């Protein structure tokens, strides 16, 4: 069985950027800020490509739900090796309130339409930190889920999935079709080479809307405010281990 | 110093809740069939702010856990679902049980700890109930308004849910643990659901064994970073931790370099801790690491680089080579 794989690619503020809260306290400043592909999605994309290289997958489709600029993220995915891309264009106003709830519904529809066998997503986006989309997509499809995955092996007609859990690792066997979400240690994503970036420009990208998939994007949650976290007061430097241990003794820790 | 600690309370966001508690809340207990996982107690405290608390214990031969939770302060009812099908706590098996339970009792809120277990399960149940879940809350403003962090803890979001049922995962370190005595909840069998899971199967697990306290609930955490140079050197931290009854954590750099297993990782993508004392050793203090520890009451940094960002959040900073400082500290903390 050769799998058709769908990979979710979210455009987020680059992980190295220190975000700033907007003066209206309803979000963070995104204009003029460096964006890139969500790091966990790069790992998901890499895993899909490795499956294709092992001839386990026949086609890898990258999808992103978001504003016009999401197409840059999809071009990155295409340069990494995806065969084609689907941009589900969301107007900026609607994108502000778009949640995993909506994205998973869109993904579930694409799965049906494109006859997908395996959905590979990042375990969480580093902007909203939700960690929901993969699980919700699996729920909607009634497919098994392999979340926080650090290794995948295809054995006969199923997948052996190594999951990162709180006390260590666990192995779960999931049947195909399935949804997987990638943890950091699943793999090391490749860099797109210049020739591949050039080739990616010619690869097909379909532009769709949420309405095309019959998904209502009206918000289920309202963000009332976004604020800076409380700042810690500046501490002090101590000169020696003795002084430090004394401070800890005074604090009742030793 | 202690007065400084209290002004910097991490319970800031949940103070003075004066809203009406008229809901009924289900807490999904996390356990290993023998013992309750401590985060469940924190989730129960969060649930108490929302209404009457029921707890669901699902597992294989887990009656002991049901008994333990029936004594927890504030729990009114325990629903027990003992079934071989719950081996490995697979979400594919647990979700039908949750749906049947919700159908019968119609809870206003369903909560679980924001652990690997809770994060895995809650969104799947939410999708089946057609509601938008709320992840990793650090505070409750009212029965429909919750506080959570975004961007690796660099912004705090207040979000109002318009769904009729709220599915929520709770950050354990943001809520006190409920008392393990004083409760006398009645235990009844959970509604029977047809669990016919042919799509996933638990194969096995490999847990890191340790005699030290569990990382997320330890009073003192000592963490090592890239500066530890190799895995063997972590012994220095273990020795100190043993003297201080502390748990040992690590930065992502230390985990990625293979020094220690990844379940020790503290940060945005690892565990979130908020102990009374956090000692960061050879850790520079990247945004992603700070996300996992900056609500600690007292932070100590030991680093030879005086410009390391960790010193901007530390209460006490010692600029020194850790290979000199840690053995000295171990010697001084010897009983």
Question: Where exactly are the structural domains of chain B?
Answer: 24-189, 220-333
Contact flag A224-B159 (C-beta cutoff 8 Å): yes
Asked whether the beta carbons of A38 and A99 are under 8 A apart, the reply is no
Residue B238 has pLDDT above 60, yes or no: yes
Range of the domain at A46: 3-227
> For chain B, how are helix, strand and coil distributed in percent, rounded to 5?
35, 30, 40
Q: Do B49 and B168 meet the contact criterion of CB atoms below 8 Å apart?
A: no
User: Mean pLDDT for each 10-residue chunk of chain A (254 residues)?
Assistant: 93 95 96 97 98 97 98 98 98 95 98 98 97 98 98 95 95 98 96 96 98 97 96 90 96 91
Number of domains in chain A: 1
Closest listed residue to residue A134, CA positions, set A78, A65, A180: A180
Q: What is the pLDDT of residue B19?
A: 52
Task: Please tell me the predicted confidence (pLDDT) of residue A236.
Answer: 94
Q: Tell me, what CATH number does A149's domain have?
A: 3.40.50.620
Annotated binding site for FAD: which residue ranges of B? 226, 251-252, 265-269, 282-289, 303
Across the interface, which of B150, B154, B271 has its CB nearest the CB of A18?
B154
Residue B33's SS3 state is coil
Q: Is residue A235 part of a domain?
A: no
Give pTM, 2 decimals.
0.93
- Fold for domain B220-333? Rossmann fold (3.40.50)
pLDDT tens per residue across span B92-132? 999 999 999 999 999 999 999 999 999 999 999 999 999 99
pLDDT at A1: 61
Q: Does B63 touch chain A (CB under 8 A)?
A: no
Angle ∠(B83,B26,B204) on CA atoms, nearest 5: 40
- Cα–Cα distance measured from residue A17 to residue B186, given in angstroms and rounded to the nearest whole number: 51
With 0-12 / 13-18 / 19 or more C-beta atoms within 10 angstroms meaning exposed / middle / buried, residue A236 is exposed
Q: Using alpha carbons only, what angle is made at residue B109 by residues B8 and B23, rounded to the nearest 5 degrees?
A: 95
The first and second tokens of residue B50, run together, are: 């929302």
Nearest to B170 by CA among B138, B214, B198: B138
CATH topology of B24-189 equal to that of B220-333?
Answer: yes
In a domain, A233, yes or no: no
Contacts of B304 (CB under 8 A, 6+ apart): B227, B319, B320, B321, B322
In a domain, A221, yes or no: yes
Q: Confirm or reject contact between A131 and chain B (CB < 8 A).
A: yes
Partner residue opposite A28 with nearest CB, options B126, B151, B294: B151
- Three-state DSSP at A71 gives helix
Does A63 reside within a domain? yes
Write down the residue that tokens 């089946």 correspond to.
B128
Residue A107 lies in a domain: yes
| Residue A133 belongs to some domain of the structure | yes
pLDDT digits (tens, 9 = 90+) for B156-176: 999 999 999 999 999 999 999
Q: B24-189: CATH homologous superfamily?
A: HUPs (3.40.50.620)
Residues of A in contact with B151 (CB under 8 A): 13, 19, 28, 126-127, 129
Distance CA B313, CA B310 (A): 6
Distance separating alpha carbons of residues B275 and B254, to the nearest angstrom: 20
Task: Report cis status (omega within 30 of 0) of the bond before B334.
Answer: no
User: Is residue A252 assigned to a domain?
Assistant: no
The pLDDT tens digits for B64-102 are: 999 999 999 999 999 999 999 999 999 999 999 999 999
């Amino acid at each position: 069985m050769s799998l058709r794989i769908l990979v979710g690619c979210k455009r987020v503020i680059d992980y190295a950027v220190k975000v700033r809260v907007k003066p209206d306290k309803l979000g963070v400043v995104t204009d003029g800020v460096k964006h890139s592909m969500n790091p966990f999605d790069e790992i998901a994309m890499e895993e899909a490509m490795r499956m294709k290289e092992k001839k386990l997958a026949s086609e890898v489709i990258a999808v992103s739900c978001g504003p016009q600029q999401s197409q840059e993220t999809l071009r990155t995915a295409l340069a990494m090796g995806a065969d084609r891309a689907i941009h589900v264009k969301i107007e900026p106003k609607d994108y502000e309130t778009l949640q995993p709830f909506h994205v998973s519904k869109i993904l579930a529809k694409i799965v049906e339409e494109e006859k997908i066998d395996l959905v590979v997503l990042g375990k969480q986006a580093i902007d909203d930190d939700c960690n929901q989309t993969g699980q919700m997509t699996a729920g909607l499809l009634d497919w098994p889920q392999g979340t926080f995955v650090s290794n995948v092996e295809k054995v006969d007609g199923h997948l052996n999935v190594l999951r990162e859990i709180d006390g260590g690792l666990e192995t779960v066997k999931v049947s195909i079709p399935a949804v997987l979400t990638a943890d950091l240690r699943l793999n090391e994503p490749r860099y797109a080479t210049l020739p591949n970036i050039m080739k990616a420009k010619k690869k097909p990208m379909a532009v769709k809307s949420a309405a095309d998939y019959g998904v209502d994007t009206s918000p289920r949650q309202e963000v009332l405010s976004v604020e800076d976290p409380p700042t810690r007061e500046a501490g002090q430097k101590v000169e020696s281990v003795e002084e430090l241990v004394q401070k800890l003794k005074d604090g009742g820790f030793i | 110093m202690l007065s400084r600690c209290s002004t910097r309370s991490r319970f800031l966001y949940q103070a003075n809740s004066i809203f009406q508690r008229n809901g009924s809340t289900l807490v999904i207990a996390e356990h290993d069939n023998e013992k309750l996982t401590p985060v469940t107690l924190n989730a129960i405290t969060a649930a108490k702010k929302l209404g009457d608390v029921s707890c669901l214990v699902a597992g294989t031969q887990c009656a002991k856990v049901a008994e333990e939770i029936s004594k927890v302060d504030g729990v009114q009812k325990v629903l027990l679902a003992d079934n071989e099908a719950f081996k490995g706590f697979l979400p594919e098996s647990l979700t039908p049980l949750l749906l049947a339970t919700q159908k019968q009792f119609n809870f206003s809120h369903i909560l679980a700890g924001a652990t690997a277990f809770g994060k895995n399960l809650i969104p799947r149940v939410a999708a089946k109930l057609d509601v938008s879940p709320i992840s990793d809350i650090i505070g409750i403003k009212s029965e429909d308004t919750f506080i959570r962090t975004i961007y690796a803890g660099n912004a705090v979001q207040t979000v109002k849910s318009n769904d009729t049922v709220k599915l929520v995962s709770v950050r354990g370190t943001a809520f006190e643990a409920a008392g393990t005595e004083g409760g006398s909840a009645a235990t009844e069998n959970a509604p029977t659901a047809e669990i016919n899971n042919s799509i996933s199967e638990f194969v096995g697990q490999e847990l890191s064994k340790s005699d030290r306290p569990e990382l997320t609930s330890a009073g003192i955490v000592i963490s090592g970073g890239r500066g530890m140079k190799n895995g063997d050197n972590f012994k220095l931290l273990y020795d100190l931790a043993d003297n201080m009854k502390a748990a040992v954590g690590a930065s992502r750099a230390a985990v990625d370099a293979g020094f220690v297993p990844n379940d020790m990782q503290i940060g945005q993508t690892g565990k979130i801790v908020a102990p009374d004392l956090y000692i960061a050793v050879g850790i520079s203090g990247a945004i992603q690491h700070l996300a996992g520890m900056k609500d600690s009451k007292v932070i100590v940094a030991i680093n030879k680089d005086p410009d390391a960002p960790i010193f901007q959040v530390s209460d006490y900073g010692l600029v020194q080579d850790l290979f000199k400082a840690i053995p000295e500290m171990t010697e001084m903390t010897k009983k």
